[in-house]
Amino acid sequence: MDQPNISQNGGRLRFDVPSQNGNGVNGGAPPPRELRKANILLVDDRADKLLALEAILSTLGQNIIKARSGKEALRKLLNDEFACILMDVSMPCMDGFETASLIRKRASSEHTPILFITSISTSENHISKGYSLGAVDYMLTPIVPEVLRSKVSVFVELHRRAELIKEQAEELRQVAEQKHQRQLAAVEDRLETETKRNRFFTLSLDLLAIASFDDYFIQLNPVWGTTLGFSVDELRSKSILEFVHTEDRTRTAEQLIQVKMGTAPTYFENRYRCADGSFKWLGWTAAPFPEEQLVYIFARDITERKASETEIRSLNGELERRINALTEMNQELEAFGYSISHDLRAPLRSIRSFSQFLREHTKTSLDTEGTEYLHRVESAAKYMDLLLLDLLEYSRLNGSEMDLIPVDLDTAVKDVLNSIQKEVEDRSAKISVRSPLGAVNAHPATVRQVLYNLISNALKFVAKSQTPFIEVSTEIQNGIVRGCVVDNGIGIAPQYHQKIFGLFQRLHSNDAYPGTGIGLALVRKGIERMGGRIGVESEPGKGTRFWFELNQATAPIPPEEPIPRELFPRLLHPVG
């Protein structure tokens, strides 16, 4: 674009507008434009000084505006722009320095030249303060008129030139805008012609449209009318956003801005108004063409899909409410089971005690058959006591809060082996512990219960004719400790690998391998409550390898108290 030419001829400033296509902006070369008069602000509390300054500067032919105080000067600045400001330093209420500081805080007057005039101080500090407030000069009275006029005339001419340049820039912007509008109109005409020839656009079952970057439709296919009930002219007469539901309008406006700033197609959804006042859900795919300032739109009526989604959400909410109700009922049943189990242990202990008393104190009065019956009653009561104890432990794991702390597995395994030392000796078992086993984040009592059940099972499910060989080891990888208990026992068929972790799941008769059928369920529940997982690898006749995974402990291991024997309630009665 040609730049405007500023020249001075005979002491008057001229501004020549560059021509467009050799014919000027409007088809011919415009005449040079003269600059408008500039405003000069005089600020002094004394009328005689204002009159003297006005007399000196009147020969410049500009607009002289006077103010008798700093406050009045600030009011003048609210309404007009000034080429420069001449200000007395010493004024009542608000001096020149304070007034200059406030002037500099306004964006419109931030760079307006200020000349301080004073007769009371010529100190270096006083002058420095004036310059620190953005003053361009600091003049002492008496003032030489020629010097003052010369300085002010420079600022006046600079201000007038700047104003004229801004005016010309606005004119050039308007010329460019008119050119853009002509180009846009030409593009619209071309698009209208092309659209009429495009049968796909006309016959498509989906909603197709072309919109301008100012969010107005330019072209629409007939499906918009059949879908929404509006005519094409009605849809083109208003902005796209005016038809959008008020709750979706802000989000849609943001999405349209993103479309026009990008290059790739964008998908979004909103509710769009119909002619009868109802709303339909539309799914939009919009692709921008910045070089043409257009957006190509593909839309589809998704009202039925949205209704289905709403129904699904409602069903999901109902399902969640039912699940919560079932969970609450399950918790109540668990609490009931815990209470019953706890309450039944007392009469069972009485039965065991009375049976034992009768058997020991009535040996001479009971025959062999009576003694056998008492023994059976005592054994049954003992088994029921163990069963209820396991159920209580399982309920505890289901409902109790579990604080996890660093636990040394070597210490835990040592405690377990000490508790089953007699059984190990009775079976002449060989138990190998591959220390160090490491430390895990766990609940001390629960991790010992897990190890106790796994090692006891390994000892229990080895044929009587064989010597039990049991190995306890760990592997540490990526912050996870995998503990393993391996035996040379009878093994487990693969189809039962998950079944054995269920409550009351037994693979063998109670006579061959006595137990309650709860032990491995306790193991799985305990591991899961500590944030880990458990599994088994086994085949019939090839032994069994139980493994569990827990998070490795990173904090120091706190000192542990000796483990009471009641933590191992089944020391001589391993469970299956």
Give me the sheet containing 63-67, strands edge to edge.
63-67, 39-43, 84-88, 114-118, 137-140
What pLDDT score was predicted for residue 249? 94
What pLDDT score was predicted for residue 403? 78
Give the tokens for residue 500. Answer: 């054995």
Answer yes or no: are the C-beta atoms of 289 and 297 closer than 8 Å.
Answer: no
Residue type, 84: C
Q: Is residue 149 part of a domain?
A: yes
pTM above 0.75, yes or no: no
Q: Is residue 188 part of a domain?
A: no
Q: Considering Cα of 316, then 320, then 325, then 329, what sign does the dihedral take?
A: positive
Q: From its phi and psi, is residue 478 left (phi > 0), alpha (psi between -120 and 50) or beta?
A: left
Residues 146 and 9 in one domain: no
Residues 421 and 538 in one domain: yes
Instruction: Say what the alpha-carbon torsion angle 343, 344, 348, 349 is, to the nearest 10 degrees.
Output: -20
What pLDDT score was predicted for residue 237? 93
Final residue before a domain boundary, out of 301, 331, 352: 301
Q: Is residue 559 part of a domain?
A: yes
Q: Is 472 helix (H, G, I), strand (E, B) or coil?
A: strand
What pLDDT score was predicted for residue 471? 93
Residue 306, judged by CB atoms within 10 A of its CB (0-12, 13-18, 19+), counts as: middle
Residues 517 and 455 in one domain: yes
What pLDDT score was predicted for residue 280? 94
Distance of CA 10 to the CA centre of its chain: 69
Q: Is residue 189 part of a domain?
A: no
* Domain at 414, CATH number: 3.30.565.10
Question: In terms of Cα–Cα distance, which of 443, 442, 453, 446 is closest to 501?
Answer: 453
Residues 554 and 458 in one domain: yes
Could you identify the residue written with the tokens 């409007």? 26
Residues 409 and 550 in one domain: yes
Answer yes or no: are the C-beta atoms of 474 and 484 closer than 8 Å.
Answer: yes
Q: Is residue 178 part of a domain?
A: no
Residue type, 10: G
Residues 22 and 69 in one domain: no
Give the tokens for residue 376. Answer: 């059976």
What pLDDT score was predicted for residue 353? 67
The tally of domains found in the chain comes to 5
Q: Is residue 445 part of a domain?
A: yes
pLDDT tens, the chain, 576 aa long: 444 444 444 334 444 444 444 444 444 445 556 667 889 999 998 888 899 899 989 998 899 999 999 899 999 988 888 989 999 888 888 888 888 888 888 888 888 888 888 876 556 666 777 777 767 788 888 888 888 888 898 888 888 888 888 888 888 888 888 888 888 888 777 777 666 656 667 777 889 999 999 999 998 988 999 999 999 899 999 999 999 999 999 999 999 999 998 888 899 999 999 999 999 999 999 999 888 899 999 999 999 999 998 899 888 888 888 887 776 666 655 555 555 555 555 566 666 666 666 666 665 566 777 667 666 666 666 656 555 565 556 666 665 567 788 999 999 899 888 888 888 888 888 999 998 999 999 888 888 888 988 998 888 878 787 888 999 999 999 999 999 999 998 888 888 777 777 665 556 555 555 555 677 888 888 888 888 999 888 888 888 999 999 999 887 777 665 555 544 544 333 333
Residues 480 and 549 in one domain: yes
User: Which residues, 6 or more positions from 279, have their beta carbon under 8 angstroms from its beta carbon?
Assistant: 245, 271, 272, 273
* Domain at 327, CATH number: 1.10.287
Question: In terms of Cα–Cα distance, which of 294, 265, 298 is closest to 283?
Answer: 298
Question: In terms of Cα–Cα distance, which of 408, 458, 445 is closest to 530?
Answer: 445
Residues 219 and 312 in one domain: no
Query: For residues 269 and 250, what is the distance between their CA atoms, to the nearest angstrom?
Result: 12
Answer yes or no: are the C-beta atoms of 276 and 284 closer than 8 Å.
Answer: no
For every residue of 261-295, DSSP letters joined together read H-SS-EEEEEEEE-TTS-EEEEEEEEEEEGGGTEE
Q: Is residue 576 part of a domain?
A: no
Residues 506 and 463 in one domain: yes
Residues 320 and 221 in one domain: no
Domain that holds residue 415: 402-567
Final residue before a domain boundary, out of 252, 284, 301: 301
Q: Is residue 437 part of a domain?
A: yes
Residues 330 and 270 in one domain: no
Question: In terms of Cα–Cα distance, which of 131, 95, 98 is closest to 113?
Answer: 131
Residues 472 and 554 in one domain: yes
